[in-house]
A = this chain, B = another copy of it.
Amino acid sequence: MTLPLSVSGQQFIAGRRVASGEATLPSLRAADGELTGYHFYPASREEAAAAAVAAEQAFPVYSQTSPDVRAHFLDTLANELDLLGEDFFTIAHQETALPLPRLQGERSRTSNQLRLFAGVLRRGDAFGVRIDTALPERKPLSRPDLRQYLTALGPVAVFGASNFPLAFSTAGGDTASALAAGCPVVVKAHPGHMATAELTAQAIVRAVAASGLPAGVFNMIFGTDIGAELVRHPAIQAVGFTGSLRGGKALWQLAQQRPQPIPVFAEMSAINPLIILPQAVAARAETLAHELVSSFTLGCGQFCTKPGLILALRGEGMSRFTQALKDAVGQVPAQVMLNAPTLAHYEEGVSAFEAHPNIQRLAGSDERVIGRAQARLYRAPASLLLAQDPLLQHEVFGPLAVLVEVADEGELQSILHAIPGQLTATVHAESDDGPLAQRLLPALSEKAGRVVFNGYPTGVEVCDAMVHGGPWPATTDSRGTSVGTQSIDRFLRPVCLQNVPAALLPPAVQDDNPLNLLRLINGQWTREAISPSVD
């Protein structure tokens, strides 16, 4: 049989394709688990190490490239992604069961994300320049000339996510922000969409070559357990991950156990509480129920920001709201999930809910459709949340949500205190709910990276202001975001140059400001050059 795509299944190491052993990893169709026809070579430990070393060897050159060079590279890569054609979407659809329009939208999101980082580099935000010029006459001690800027952390290991085969995978947000920061990347391809990953990697390799950059700027390996080797390798200086709490925590622990520990930016688990205040329930019970069910079953509930916990304040309209939720869930057809393990995990989650003595199923058919996930809605008492029942602490990935009726504001505040950190928290309020909403805002901001009003958390805008992060276990580092331009900060660290001669200064901190950066100079933000001292 001749396969339509040029997919070798080998590792990408410094522009070369490398493999040993047998191609034992099959690419599977999400819909039925059958072979797509493509097979991949699991990377050996030596190949994982070679990929890390390739990134390390590219680092001295790549980290010192000008922002213009990196911006041009990211634009070139974006254009390469935009050229991916029908073949690409066909295999991506086969591997993930995600609908074609969704995949096409995700491709645009991914290439636009790269262009956004190109814009950040041209805008110059990412340099964080702060200069305090010398004060030779200061008493009792003179002040030296001090120039701070942000520099690339080092080679970054990126773990592709199952649920966004483009936007959070090979050329996704972690890769884009690391490359923008000046860090070479080693991607560990997700086993759920390896052919998609390979075609994307081929596009990156073309962009690296067209930009005249060292080939080791981008590397990718295949495998199931090989990620640990990457995280342990001394050349790797940071890790980006989007996936499960278990997976993220394991990588994070490995990184701490290294002789030189490194940061792991893992986006892991959130139940994304959605709070409905009394007037909103009363005024919009049916609309809310309809929209909410659409949100938590969208894409089969396979979003990090799926609202999995509905906290509705008791009052007029609650029974209409509950009935409308049940009706809406009843209308949701069974859906194919990303892959068989994901469906199995979802079914485990459902079984745990079914078996819990204090949790009641409100909606969701008993009928089992082989290979598909049925949406489920459960009801739990507030006391279970307050008792930090383990089943309600972490996300069930899939079209499942839990409704909790909350007695009053006091109970709501106690619940917000009891639940763990979140990516998002949402409030639905009418104008009469305003004072209560205002009192809730600080607690919500303390618990989540993003607070949404009268909307739904699914749909994460890629822009300057986005925060896709939050306190543990939503992420390993609440001070970062994995979506939006601020995500570049994860892969940068400050360096201060003291009394370095003008001829040796990098452009970002030179007196005449050749990059036209906004800089903090002697306590003032300015794009002005530094005038020569007159003493």
Interface, chain A (partner B; CB < 8 A):
60, 63-64, 105, 119, 123, 125, 130-132, 140-141, 143-144, 146-148, 151, 153-154, 253, 256, 260-263, 420-421, 434, 437-438, 441-443, 445-446, 448-455, 459, 461, 463-467, 469, 471-473, 476-479, 481, 486, 489-490, 492-501, 503-504, 518, 520, 523, 525
Bound form: Cα–Cα A477–B490 in Å: 11
Bound form: Cα–Cα A455–B437 in Å: 56
Contact in complex: B465, A147 (CB < 8 Å): yes
Closest 10 CB pairs of A and B: A467-B496, A146-B465, A148-B465, A130-B465, A132-B465, A452-B498, A450-B496, A132-B463, A130-B464, A478-B493
12 residue pairs of the A-B complex, CB under 8 angstroms, read A119-B523, A146-B461, A146-B463, A148-B464, A261-B472, A261-B476, A449-B493, A450-B496, A452-B498, A453-B501, A481-B494, A486-B494
Q: Which residues of B contact A147 (CB under 8 A)?
A: 465
Contact in complex: B132, A504 (CB < 8 Å): no
A167 to chain B, nearest CB (A): 14
Contact in complex: A496, B455 (CB < 8 Å): no
Q: Which residues of B contact A450 (CB under 8 A)?
A: 495-498
Q: Which of these, B154, B420, B472, B499, contacts A452 with CB under 8 Å?
A: B499
Bound form: Cα–Cα A501–B499 in Å: 49
Contact in complex: B449, A495 (CB < 8 Å): yes
Bound form: Cα–Cα A496–B453 in Å: 11
Bound form: Cα–Cα A454–B498 in Å: 9
Interface centre among A119, A477, A498 (most CB of B within 10 A): A498
Please name 12 further chain A to chain B contacts, defined as beta carbons within 8 Å, in addition to the given A60-B442, A146-B463, A453-B501, sorted by A numbering: A130-B486, A147-B465, A434-B501, A450-B496, A450-B497, A451-B497, A451-B500, A452-B498, A453-B500, A466-B496, A467-B494, A478-B493
Bound form: Cα–Cα A490–B478 in Å: 11
Bound form: Cα–Cα A490–B489 in Å: 13
Bound form: Cα–Cα A449–B146 in Å: 12
Q: Which residue of B lies closest to A438 (CB)?
A: B504
Bound form: Cα–Cα A227–B144 in Å: 37
Q: Which residue of B lies closest to A128 (CB)?
A: B486
Q: Which residues of B contact A523 (CB under 8 A)?
A: 119, 123, 464
Contact in complex: B500, A260 (CB < 8 Å): no
Contact in complex: B464, A520 (CB < 8 Å): yes
Q: Which residues of B contact A119 (CB under 8 A)?
A: 523
Bound form: Cα–Cα A520–B60 in Å: 31
Bound form: Cα–Cα A172–B154 in Å: 32
Contact in complex: A263, B479 (CB < 8 Å): yes
A510 to chain B, nearest CB (A): 13
Q: Which residue of B lies closest to A124 (CB)?
A: B525
Q: Which of these, B125, B261, B451, contacts A495 with CB under 8 Å?
A: B451
